[in-house]
Amino acid sequence: MTMHKTVQVRVDAMLDDLRTLVETESPSRDPDALTASAKAVAAILENRLGGRAVLVESAAGPHVHWTGGGDPAVLVLGHHDTVFPLGTLERRPFKVAGGYATGPGVFDMLGGLVQAVHGLATLDDRSGVEILVTADEEVGSGSSRALLEERALACGAVLVLEGAADGGALKTGRKGCGTFQVSIAGRASHAGLEPAAGVNALVEAAHQVLDIAALSRPDIGTTVTPTVASAGTLDNVVPAEATVTVDVRVESADEKERIEVAFAALAPHLDEAQIMVQGAVSRPPMPESASAELFAVAQQLLPDLEGKAVGGGSDGNFTAALGVPTLDGLGAVGGGAHADHEYLVVDAMAERANLVAGLVNVLQKKVQNETR
């Protein structure tokens, strides 16, 4: 099996569209910015693919949905929100130099979105193709999860446009991930006159951090990492409140359950201290079995492709958990996600665009054969 046909995608045109998206800043949780970004995404979809892109309003901002009509065959899944606050573009403008494109969001994941659109534009027949570009992936997909799960089940296969793994590898498995917040209530008192009259929430938080970190099982892929802590008001006041935020990654459903049970069972060490826990492993693990069928097709199209299981989560976790074949990491080749050195490899753009088109072409034919 080879690529569906040898059609030249125009890298200069892809870079023009990428510039448009990068320069329309789109930080998560900023509805006004995300509305402008969604309109920019919709305009590119309509310009390159024809038809109509629908803005699906949500509390997080608009999601963008486009369909080529016909029997659903494949969902091409991405997001247009980024982690960078407004004003980042002024400090780090979009630039192409030395074979790299740089700027906020080029790798995660605006470059992948542009590549997919231009790849799909090479197909004469776009029936069965759906594109969903969500507005809240970077903050947990709370407003988009139901929609993306619905469309994934309808289509029966999902291609996720997140950036590639190291070396351009596809992402064939992902850990489940979630965030917990542990809130501690103590009692304030004067730190010099009567420290024993208080209940020191900071000391209790220290005990909890050690208990929480001990839940890690890196030998089986489970990491439990306290990442943010806060406590206290003044240097002469026993802290009455403290919070600890924890990042969790797991490779199995059993570990997801173990960790959630353990957090629910956290108990205070100090008399009269109180603990409240919020959170869950909200993105279930994406097992490598979920991507096996689609990855085999991708390797037939590009025999040198590699696949890697990674620790980060994506919306592919949700679709894989439904039993829908899901292949991730089909977006930009590059690196530096969420960092100032984020970059995209320009020379890889055309190949990745054609890879998405080739996979879609195979899935279209599969559905067409099944419905005859």
Per-residue pLDDT tens for 1-32?
445 455 679 999 999 999 999 999 999 999 99
Is 3.30.420.140 the CATH classification of the domain at 176-283? no
Look up residue 288 and give its DSSP letter: G
Q: What is the number of H-type helices and E-type strands within the chain?
A: 10, 16
* pTM for the model: 0.91
User: What number is the average pLDDT over the span 63-68?
Assistant: 98
pLDDT one-digit tens code per residue, 94-132:
999 999 999 999 999 999 999 999 999 999 999 999 999
Beta strands in 209-273 (DSSP E): 223-231, 241-250
Q: What's the pLDDT at 371?
A: 76
State how beta strands 334-335 and 307-310 pair. unpaired
Rounded Cα–Cα distance for residues 170 and 359 (Å): 13
Sequence-ordered alpha helix ranges (H) in 168-291: 201-213, 253-264
pLDDT one-digit tens code per residue, 268-324:
999 999 999 999 999 999 999 999 999 999 999 999 999 999 998 999 999 999 999
CATH node for 11-174+286-370 = 3.40.630.10
Q: What's the pLDDT at 370?
A: 84
Q: What's the pLDDT at 319?
A: 98
| Of 117, 123, 132, 115, residue with least CA distance to 75 | 132
Q: How many other CB atoms are found less than 10 A from the CB of residue 121? A: 19
Q: What's the pLDDT at 5?
A: 52
User: What number is the average pLDDT over the span 345-351?
Assistant: 98
* Domain locations along the chain: 11-174+286-370, 176-283
Is residue 129 a contact partner of residue 74, using CB atoms and an 8 Å limit? yes
Q: What's the pLDDT at 179?
A: 96
Please state whether the peptide bond connecting residue 109 to the residue before it is cis, i.e. omega within 30 degrees of 0. yes
Is residue 152 a contact partner of residue 141, using CB atoms and an 8 Å limit? no
Q: What's the pLDDT at 369?
A: 84
